Amino acid sequence: MDLALLQSTLAELGQPDFRARQVWEWTARGAPGYAAMTNLPAALRGELAERVPFSSLALEREARASDGTVKALLRTHDGRPVEAVLMRYRDGRRSLCLSSQSGCPLTCTFCATGAMRFARNLTAGEILDQALHFRRGEGVDHVVFMGMGEPMMNLDHVLEACRRLPDLGVTHRRTAISTVGWIPGIDRLAAQDMPIRLALSLHAADEALRSQIMPVNDRYPLADVLAACERHYAAKHRQVFVEYVMLAGVNDRYEQAVQLAQALDPRVYKVNLIPYNPTGSAYDGSSREAIAAFQAVLEEHGLRATVRLTRGRDIDAACGQLAAKA
Ligand code: SAH
């Protein structure tokens, strides 16, 4: 929902100030539409339905994976594709993976989103509408900005959406923003007040290798990115989660684990190893054994390391697979 349009429409209709809040409260709690907002005058509900689209996104398709993960392909009013994912865990956790852009201007070589056309930044309303789409079906408690796009390149809109997430049931502490290492964004995240988690897509501790698989490293080299993450930690006292996609023969060797462990201060960082999800790139994923061995080396060096549970791979909903394909 475009909240600015809601506000101006209510003002034009001569409605009292508290109306916008009433409408938002219903919406954030998962109301299916204006008709359900029973403390609003019926005529006003009809008027709003005509003048303020209840969602800025239209649902085009929804796919359900065997593990319960749901992927929605949504479209903006100007026809741009946006994907969002709901992950359900056995312990009852409900986690949303949201997109910040339609497509992505960066060109990480292992990621399907980087290979599709970049369209534009999403508005705060379009980001919230992804979450609301799922919130209308069930309660949600975690959000990660790990969908399409680079959230730090659209940080104003991402943070504006984050401000509203607690109304949907997602606290700031259960919200994470993932970045390729876009330094100005990391510093701005550290300077604002919400206790949001920072996640860094690191993927190679060696500068030359990182530049090869993530060209953005030429613009923001890893050494500078890590310094920015450490500033973030100093300001927010929250550990930074490092994402590391395991590519066979590329970044999964013993020496590379040692180099990674030496680059990361275990007080500041926790590592999440990500099994590679097929995207049609030239890479192969590391074997389960190679991932376990890499993890063991990190832990021997005192660095906490976990292996990410793969979700939604059979519907192309897993990390790096969002590309709005049929
Ligand atoms: N642009 C931000 C937000 C996207 S997060 C960022 O890169 O951090 C998506 C995560 O999935 C990133 O860590 C990304 O590197 C990872 N990823 C991309 N392609 C992948 C693949 N094929 N398999 C597993 N993870 C992948």
Q: Examine the domain organization and report whether 227 and 271 are in the same domain.
A: yes
Quote the domain boundaries for residue 152. Answer: 56-315
**Element holding 223 (H helix, E strand):** helix 222-236
pLDDT tens-digit readout, 263-313: 999 999 999 999 999 999 999 999 999 999 999 999 999 999 999 999 999
Rounded to 10°, the helix 183-191/222-236 angle is 10
- What does the angle CA 294 – CA 297 – CA 302 come to, to the nearest 5 degrees? 130
Contacts 24+ apart (CB under 8 A), 40-47: 44/13, 44/15, 44/19, 47/9, 47/13
pLDDT tens digits along 213-224:
999 999 999 999
| Residues forming a β-bridge with 97 | 85, 144
Ligand 1 site-directed mutation target among 178, 222, 281, 322, most atoms within 8 Å of CB = 178
Q: How confident is the model at residue 326 (pLDDT cuts 50, 70, 90)?
A: low
- For 4, the token pair is 């600015």
Indicate the top mutation candidate among 180, 220, 245 to test ligand 1's pocket, ranked by most ligand atoms within 8 A of CB: 245
What mean pLDDT comes out for the span 207-234?
Answer: 98
309 in the same domain as 177: yes
User: Both 64 and 198 in a single domain?
Assistant: yes
Say whether both 205 and 145 belong to one domain: yes
Q: Let me know how many helices (H) and strands (E) the chain has, helices first.
A: 11, 12
295: helix, coil or strand?
helix
- Tell whether the model's pLDDT for residue 57 goes beyond 90: yes
Q: Mind listing the pLDDT tens digit for each residue in 134-147?
A: 999 999 999 999 99
Q: Is 180 in the pocket of ligand 1 (CB under 6 A)?
A: yes
Say if 324 falls within a structural domain: no
Host H or E run for residue 71: strand 70-76
pTM tops 0.85, yes or no:
yes
Q: Are residues 274 and 290 in the same domain?
A: yes
pLDDT band of 325, cuts 50, 70, 90: confident
Residues 6+ apart with CB under 8 A from 235: 190, 191
CATH of the domain at 96: 3.20.20.70
pLDDT in tens, 71-121: 999 999 999 999 999 999 999 999 999 999 999 999 999 999 989 999 999
Nearest CA to ligand 1 atom 15: 201
Residue 260 reports pLDDT greater than 60:
yes
Between vectors from CA 125 to CA 96 and to CA 51, what angle results, nearest 5°? Answer: 130
**C-alpha separations of 192 from 18, 141, 162, 186, 260 in Å:** 27, 22, 12, 10, 29
Instruction: Report the distance separating Cα 240 and Cα 77, nearest Å.
Output: 36
Please check whether residues 78 and 161 belong to one and the same domain: yes
Domain of 3, CATH number, reads 1.10.150.530
At residue 52, what is the residue type?
Answer: V
Query: Is 243 considered catalytic here?
Result: no
